[in-house]
Structure 1
Amino acid sequence: MKVLLSAFACEPNLGSEEGVGWNTVIQSAKYHESWVFTRTFCRSYIEAELERNPVPNLHFVYFDPFGWSEDWKGKQGLLQLHYYLWQIWAYFIARKLDRTIGFDIVHHVTYVKHWSPSFLALLPHPFIWGPVGGAEAAPKPFWQDFSRRGKIYETLRAWAQSVGERDPFVGLTARRSAVALATTEETAARLRFLKAKNVKIFSQVGLSQQEIQELEKFPIPPEEPVRFISVGRLLHWKGVHLGLRAFAEAKLEQSEYWIVGDGPERQRLEALATDLGIANKVLFWGALPRAETLFKMGESHVLLHPSLHDSGGFVCTEMMGVGRPTICLDLGGPATQVTAETGIKVAAIDPDRAVKGLAEAIVCLANDRELRSRLGRSGQKRVREIYDWNIKGKFFAELCEDVLDEKSR
């Protein structure tokens, strides 16, 4: 089978979107002859990795509109324009390449965003869209805690999603998809609204077998102090302010709250910790390299992840791999990863009730070592059974076979 994959973000040895792109195309090449469209910016990283570890059946096609090969980090507006133009370029390049190769399946991999089109859906082949996310949003009652900057961000984000969904090419992408994979229930609802015919929930998050094995090596830390940890950029929608309020309300004696990450909210969060009288128990580590971050996670007992609109939530899967339970809000990607067997999900109705629920979960896990251990073991089992990239690769391979069989009927 000849598969064309669109992976705008695709880079080895990274997490997030780039890691999703890279691992998906590597898995595709295990089963099918695979051609991958990606940015010229990624070329040096990809070719260096393939020189060290060649992958048969994998062919990369690098391009950028007008030769723009910048990283665009910190320039969201320009990045989104670049991405849209890149998708248009992809269609014309694919149409020409298709005359020579004759693709069987087309698969859009990254960006993982439902409100931007993939023009490859216009090709005369079965089209797999996703996994895509992006419909997740912070419930309106939580906006009251956001800074002015945070409220502006949420307003612009909601506007961009609304405008994006009205793009006729987004609707066309949805209607022409043989299968549309959604990262969350929220996005699945929007894909159905856009008239996607066959919508399935499937997280974009995954870990390699090597990563899983490394995570499982972390020993259980000493019983005291019971240590909670939050990991991620310190942005308003990451909900760390809710974690601080909940940790303060829990009033635990022998406990600590570690916060790994940096961002524009850090000063406000440090001030909040002082106001709540817990500054002596809260440690802001700042942004750390991945290896150090994982080590800090291994030294902790529980992940506290009160994010308000993650489509993924990679850290939840990583913490399950370490063998620790997660406390999260019942929203977005974390809500699809965390189950009653691996952690505690708290209803996100309004800030006060969310804080109360988070505090109760904190107390529950702080006082029950056996429960923490049981949830941690179940989390590791769930990672091995669902989030192993080899398992996900097999799923994609079978999905391609099913889609092609459906076409031939």
Structure 2
Amino acid sequence: MSLKILISAYAYRPDKGSEPAISWNLVRELVKFHQIWVITRENNREAVESSLKERPINGLTVIYCRLPHWLEALNRNQRIVQVHYYLWQIAAYFQGKHLHDAIPFDLVHHVTYVKYWGPSFLALLPIPFIWGPVGGGESAPKSFWRDFGKRGKIYEILRDLGRSLGERDPFVRITARRSVLARATTEDTAARLRVLGAPRVEVLSQLGLSDLELDRLGRCPVSDSGTIRFLSIGRLLHWKGFHLGLRAFAAADLPENTEYWIVGDGPERDRLAALATELGIGDRVTFWGALGRDETLDKLGDCVALVHPSLHESGGLVCLEAMAARRPVLCLQLGGPGLQVTPETGIAVPAETPERAVTDLAEAMSCVAGDRALRLQMGETARQRAIAEFSWSAKVRALAQLYDRLALSQPEVANR
């Protein structure tokens, strides 16, 4: 049965990764099953319409919601993005209500932003409301804070404060309580959603890969250069935990022909480079800086495993991409990566203390470096898991069926 679905996607465009790509890929698959209306912000218009002009998508209508000009100007370069996001949610409700009066919709689904401590006022519409997956309930264990610089500690304090204030927002609680289903990216976030009063909570990753991406990553070659290289990819931020990867590399019992590559840039680069020199591994560590996607995939093809010791991450798309490229992932048992990686596809180590994490990561590096058959077997299993559990086509097929069940089983929503 084809339903009329309203999707709330503040971040929605085809030319970006992360959250804009989540909503873009999800909607592109959903229109195969249902009629979709996407409400998004005005500054996505140019990119969205340019893409749809080249490749029209039947069954899709995109509505652009814009705040007053002076507010848009204040948010240039995302200077007040959190305030803008909150006010946009209010404007989106009134635009969505007007649309619902005219159409009406069978169900509304909040997709982005993927954060649990901001409300979706579209939950006030008298139709079933799905929230998420949303994340952000993950925190860096306190024992790891001592490795953070002043900037990192301030960031963590402000992040905790922002979440605490968000949980006290009555509209966040209303969003949770009016949901017929709240999906959390991790168990940490699921616990927060239950506290907020969500009546039904499930844990489900917000990430996925298109068939095109799976095919492209599947053609990533297996390194046979003779040099064993580990790779980390991401913004060089304190909570990404790359300092743990460097310490583990220095502590591991690795042959001389082993290297550690880091792709990405950010405020922690100088500290990480200094740490590599201090540990005596500066000549075996290469900082490549920020690279384009093709260059990054080339680097992945030259490496045997991904090292991603992130301390709080609801997603971890790079881990999923590495798995699809047949690379085992070495990570911490935290957040999204800790759920994606199984003992058959990589090694996720406990995050009790920095010392224990470094020791366990070092053992994992030694294990993977010294056993080619094991890392090839892990890599192949990782790819099969990525296809079976994280392909957008499979995820959206299940979501479309969920829409059918919820729309038909919630007639009482209109009376709430």
Q: TM-score, normalised by structure 1?
A: 0.98
What is the alpha-carbon distance in structure 2 between the residues aligned to residue 95 and residue 73 of structure 1?
28
- Aligned mates of 2:25, 2:74 — CA distance in 1: 20
Task: Note if 1:330 corresponds to 2:314.
Answer: no
**Deviation per CA, 1:217-264, whole angstroms, max 9, x where unpaired?**
112111521110000000000000000000000041220000000000
Paired position in structure 1 for 2:409 = 406
Partner residue of 1:300?
303
Letter in 1 for 2:191: A
Deviations 1:290-321 (A, max 9, x none): 11112211211000000001110000000001
- Superposition map of 1:142-291 within 5 A: 142-222=144-224, 224-253=226-255, 254-291=257-294
Cα distance in 1 for residues equivalent to 2:300 and 2:207: 18
Instruction: Compute the displacement of 1:21 (Å).
Output: 1.3
Compare 189-198 and 256-265 and name the one that shifted more.
189-198
For residues 2-401 of structure 1, what are the structure 2 equivalents within 5 Å?
A: 2-67=4-69, 68-69=71-72, 72=75, 75=78, 78-222=80-224, 224-253=226-255, 254-401=257-404
Alpha-carbon distance in structure 2 between the residues aligned to 1:294 and 1:13: 18
Q: Percent identity of the aligned residues?
A: 54
Instruction: Return 225-234 or 248-257, whichever deviates more.
Output: 248-257
CA deviation digits over 1:74-98, x for unaligned, max 9?
Answer: 645x000000000000111111111
Residues 86 and 118 in structure 2, CA contact (< 8 A), matched pair in contact too? yes
* CA deviation string 1:97-148 (max 9, x = no partner): 1111010000000000000000000000000000100111100000000000
Deviation, 1:31, is 0.9
8 Å CA contact retained: 1:7, 1:110: yes
Query: How has the CA–CA distance of structure 1 residues 372 and 73 changed in structure 2, closer, same or farther, with 3 Å as cutoff?
Result: farther
Deviation at 1:30, TM superposition (A): 1.4
Deviation of residue 405 (structure 1)? 2.5
What is the distance in 2 between the residues matched to 1:25 and 1:71? 30
Structure 1 range deviating more: 22-31 or 39-48: 22-31
Distance 1:346 1:73 in 2: 41
The code of the aligned residue for 2:116 comes to H
CA distance in 1, matches of 2:327, 2:75: 36
| Segment drifting more, 229-238 vs 57-66 | 57-66
The residue identity in structure 1 corresponding to 2:145 is W
1:408 to 1:92, Cα distance in 2 relative to 1, 3 A = closer
Residues 224 and 255, structure 1, Cα contact 8 Å, conserved in 2: no
Q: Any conservation in 1 of the 2:65–2:95 contact (CA below 8 Å)?
A: no
Q: Deviations over 1:136-190 (max 9, x none)?
A: 1100000000000100000000000000011000011001000111111110111
Runs of 4+ displaced beyond 3 Å:
67-76
- Give the superposition deviation at 1:398: 1.1
**One-letter code aligned to 2:259:** E
Give per-residue Cα distances to partners, 1:270-307, cap 9 Å, x unaligned.
00000000001100000001111122112110000000
Moved more, 384-393 or 268-277: 384-393
Question: What is the RMSD computed on CA atoms of the aligned residues?
Answer: 1.3
Q: Structure 1 residue 72: deviation in Å?
A: 4.7
CA contact 1:229–1:257 (8 Å) conserved in 2: yes
Task: Point out where structure 1 has 5 or more consecutive residues left out of the alignment.
Answer: none
Q: Distance in 2 between matches of 1:130 and 1:8?
A: 13
User: How many matched pairs?
Assistant: 408
* CA–CA distance in structure 2, aligned partners of residues 75 and 26 of structure 1: 26
Q: How far apart in 1 are the matches of 2:230 and 2:207?
A: 23
Distance in structure 2 (CA, Å) of the matches to 1:215 and 1:71 = 40
SS at match of 1:382: helix
Three-state SS of the structure 2 residue aligned to 1:280 is helix
Q: Which moved more, 1:223-232 or 1:180-189?
A: 223-232
Between the aligned partners of 2:74 and 2:165, the Cα distance in structure 1 is 25
Write the letter of the residue equivalent to 2:239.
Answer: W
CA deviations over 1:344-396 (Å, ceiling 9, x no partner): 00000010001011101111111111110111011110111111111111121
* Deviation of 1:69 (Å): 4.5
Q: Structure 2: which 5+ runs fail to align?
A: none
- Greater displacement, 30-39 / 268-277: 30-39
**1:274 is matched by which residue type in structure 2?**
T
- Over 3 Å counting, the alpha-carbon distance change for 1:408 and 1:124 in structure 2 is closer
Would the aligned equivalents of 2:152 and 2:238 in 1 still touch at CA under 8 Å? yes
Answer with 270-279 or 8-17: which moved more: 8-17
Distance in 1 separating the partners of 2:146 and 2:75: 31
